Structure 1
Amino acid sequence: MPQLPLRKLLIGEFSWKRLALSFLFIYASFAIYIFFKADSMIFLPQPSSYQDTKDILKLAVNDRERISAIHLPNPQAKYTVLFIHGNAEDLGDLRSELELLHSWGFSVFAYDYRGYGTSDGTPSEQNAYQDADTAYKYLTQNLGVPAQQVLIYGRSVGSGSAIELATRYPVAGLILEGAFTSAFRVVVPFPLLPFDKFTNLDKISRVQSPVLVMHGQIDEVIPIHHGQKLYAAAPEPKLALWVEGAGHNDFTWVAGDRRRTALAEFLKIIEKKQ
């Protein structure tokens, strides 16, 4: 019997059908891996920057798990900002940001996702939606803040929870900072898989409140075209703030008073609609 070439012994006869099947197998294996690992790749909780004190509220998301939250009431404020933070930060890291919003005349309510700060559990897309629901209901039911006085503020990955929340509950307005069109579009600019996470662009048209979109023009994490597409898809009335020289993690400080001015203008839009 003639001796077969080593290549044929190792990989067999070449055919387009075999090549296609191999490609489908690799693609399916990749898709299954991403499906089960995406949440752990999206959420990057760091060691807690704070400890529980009397100022930290504990909100039950189920019978076993509670998330941490903080409330900064302002007796002079008409609106309460429900702040949904970005990745790799928690309530301790956010304290100066929350106090800044408070000094601008807002009451502020913020929480940590499961797995962040001193919150129980593990973060995931579905858990993030449930955490946001819990925070909204605590704010409007337990603390008695009227829905028409709630401003949802979603930063970075928090934009996913913020937009989802604003499509299902009445709010005064939706504020997005450094938001993405979807989680996978941050990594790959075209649909690579038959599923995605935090499909913000598909949802934002269903938001019934005014929308403010803010984005740094040199954002190195989530490019500005994400914010521009979200703004284009958002219903009227809406407002945009594009900050020259601002990246993803320094937006607050580079924007400075421009952000405060945009928020004040946004409140005028809300008042006009109400």
Structure 2
Amino acid sequence: MGRSRIRSVWIRKPLRRMLQLFLLGYLALNAFAFFYGERLIFLPRPRSYQDSPEILKLTTHSGEQISALYLPNPTATYTVLYSHGNAEDLGRIRQRLERLKNLGVSVFAYDYRGYGTSQGKPSEQNAYQDIEAAYRYLTVTLGISPNRIILYGRSLGSGTSVEIASREAIAGLILESPFTSTFRVITQIAVVPFDRFDNLRKIEKVRCPVLFLHGTQDGLIPFRHSEILLRQVRSSKQLVAIAGADHNDLLEIAGTQYNQAIQTFIQQLKHPLVPQP
């Protein structure tokens, strides 16, 4: 009997230590996510352009100014509000924006705070304010109706685009290489309560058509993130898989497949299919 008790105590002590270590590790992970998470998410590079007459200045809700670029297309029905990925700015994405414009839309893009020549420091809440300033410029200053606006979010930009799309009656939403949430890119499941850009929770509120574009060999944000998000969308939806594409070469690998996907999506917005009785 005494030996059995000793053996039981000997077993419980390591288990208790393991649980204590697990709890300490979990608390440390949460503390790290809370205090340093946004430093890992936002990685602005040195700006690739200078302010010029074509660079617009938008004032955010908190009074800081962000930079924006408008490429109007006089024959376009829709205007694309483009939110770029991490480590990008208006200069680095200029060719992308021109390519979109050549597909028959007007294009409006902006830099998050701390990116390009935008003022301030980036954060999740500041990024929401930034796209809100861009959206307000389109709808109020330019007088563009929300049902003529297509939100386009690439990678990090999927977070701000889904945020607006979940509460505004826009025409359509395009998500290129999106994530379910930022920390799920690393942990795959919801581990911390301080996650950022929770697209998985918000996307079911989106009521407009949604187009997903994702490389099947994406090593940064795996393809399955788009598959998971797709299942949560309650409106019309389509996932275009770009075979062999990684995170930053999707346009090059896709070639004309990219153009066709965007143009088909726009045509479907103009002439939506009517369900047969």
TM-score, normalised by the number of residues in structure 1: 0.91
State the Cα RMSD in Å.
Answer: 1.6
Equivalent positions of 1:235-254 (< 5 A) are 235-254=234-253
1:201 is displaced (CA, Å) by 1.3
Corresponding residue number in structure 1 for 2:10: none
1:63 is displaced (CA, Å) by 5.1
- Structure 2 unaligned blocks of 5 or more: 1-12
1:194 is displaced (CA, Å) by 2.6
Which whole-Å deviations, capped at 9, do the CAs of 1:21-61 have from their partners, x for residues lacking one?
45423422331121111111001000000000010000001
Corresponding residue number in structure 1 for 2:172: 173
1:101 is displaced (CA, Å) by 0.8
Change (3 A) 1:203 1:64: closer
Which whole-Å deviations, capped at 9, do the CAs of 1:156-207 have from their partners, x for residues lacking one?
0100100011011121000000001111111111222233111111111110
Contact persistence 2:67–2:111 (CA under 8 A): yes
Give the secondary structure class of the aligned counterpart of 1:261: helix
Q: Percent identity?
A: 48
Corresponding residue number in structure 2 for 1:46: 45
Does 252-261 or 26-35 show the bigger shift? 26-35
Corresponding residue number in structure 2 for 1:186: 185
1:18 is displaced (CA, Å) by 5.7
Question: What letter is aligned with 2:118?
Answer: S
Cα separation, 2, equivalents of 1:268 and 1:103: 15
2:40 pairs with 1:35: no
TM-score, normalised by the number of residues in structure 2: 0.90
Change (3 A) 1:216 1:19: closer
2:67 pairs with 1:68: yes
Cα separation, 1, equivalents of 2:224 and 2:23: 32
Change (3 A) 1:140 1:231: same
Give the secondary structure class of the aligned counterpart of 1:69: strand
2:85 pairs with 1:86: yes
Which whole-Å deviations, capped at 9, do the CAs of 1:186-236 have from their partners, x for residues lacking one?
111122223311111111111010000110111111110011111122123
Corresponding residue number in structure 2 for 1:10: none
Question: What letter is aligned with 1:107?
Answer: S
Question: What letter is aligned with 1:144?
Answer: G
Give the secondary structure class of the aligned counterpart of 1:168: coil
Corresponding residue number in structure 1 for 2:233: 234
2:233 pairs with 1:218: no
Cα separation, 2, equivalents of 1:203 and 1:34: 21
Cα separation, 1, equivalents of 2:157 and 2:124: 10
1:70 is displaced (CA, Å) by 0.4
Cα separation, 1, equivalents of 2:95 and 2:21: 53
2:146 pairs with 1:147: yes
